[in-house]
């Protein structure tokens, strides 16, 4: 438990760098991706990049809470993510008529709300600070991290693959 604060700090820094790099990569590739997925707006991909930036730190927080066996905050974080996603979708699509941009923004905003909630739950735990950063090497976690990372990527791909295939192969009228 003494190592948790240092692990969290170092992993959060690296995850934020990775998330920022992916966000800028998506922004740069947004014209290409908009054409590939036949989206009606060039703004929807950068708005989803906003989601990517929130997703990685959220996953770190959920992993820490899971590791500390704080299952109620993890479950509430997931629940808050879904409830706010639904609420923001209603707000941005139904009330404001922002269509796909509203959906993209709603997903990103809901992830940020869940991240803020998980961040507050971790602060309540008051994790001890490590006195010497030299006692722990982050590299010792890499084998386990790669397995979790690839499993998470594969799971998310399979959850979303059907939507991407339908969007790619069918006209917007047929895809809905």
Q: Is residue 28 very low, low, confident or very high in pLDDT (cuts 50, 70, 90)?
A: very high
Q: What pLDDT sits at residue 109? A: 94
Distance in angstroms (rounded) separating the CA atoms of residues 12 and 122: 13
Predicted TM-score of the model (pTM):
0.68
Angle at the Cα of 49 (from 48 to 53), degrees rounded to 5?
120
pLDDT surpassing 80 at residue 61: yes
Both tokens assigned to 138: 């982050």
* pLDDT tens digit sequence for 104-156: 899 899 999 999 999 999 888 866 555 555 445 656 666 766 777 777 777 77
Task: List alpha helices for the chain, DSSP H.
Answer: 4-36, 44-67, 71-89, 99-125, 142-169, 172-175
Q: Do residues 23 and 50 lie in contact, with contact meaning Cβ atoms separated by under 8 Å? A: yes
The pLDDT value recorded for residue 31 is 92
Q: What is the pLDDT of residue 84?
A: 94
Per-residue confidence at 4, pLDDT binned at 50, 70, 90? low
């Amino acid at each position: 438990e003494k190592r948790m604060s240092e692990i969290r700090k170092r992993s959060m820094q690296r995850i934020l760098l990775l998330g920022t790099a992916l966000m800028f990569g998506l922004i740069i590739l947004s014209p290409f991706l908009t054409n590939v997925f036949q989206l009606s707006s060039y703004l929807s991909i950068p708005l989803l990049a906003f989601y990517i930036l929130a997703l990685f730190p959220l996953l770190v927080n959920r992993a820490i809470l899971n590791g500390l066996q704080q299952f109620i905050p993890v479950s509430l974080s997931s629940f808050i993510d879904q409830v706010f996603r639904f609420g923001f979708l209603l707000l941005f699509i139904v009330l404001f008529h922002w269509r796909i941009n509203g959906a993209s923004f709603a997903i990103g905003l809901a992830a940020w709300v869940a991240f803020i909630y998980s961040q507050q739950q971790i602060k309540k735990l008051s994790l001890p600070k490590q006195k010497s950063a030299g006692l722990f090497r982050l590299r010792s976690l890499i084998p386990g991290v790669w397995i979790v990372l690839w499993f998470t990527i594969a799971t998310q791909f399979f959850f979303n693959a059907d939507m991407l295939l339908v969007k790619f192969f069918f006209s917007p009228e047929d895809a809905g």
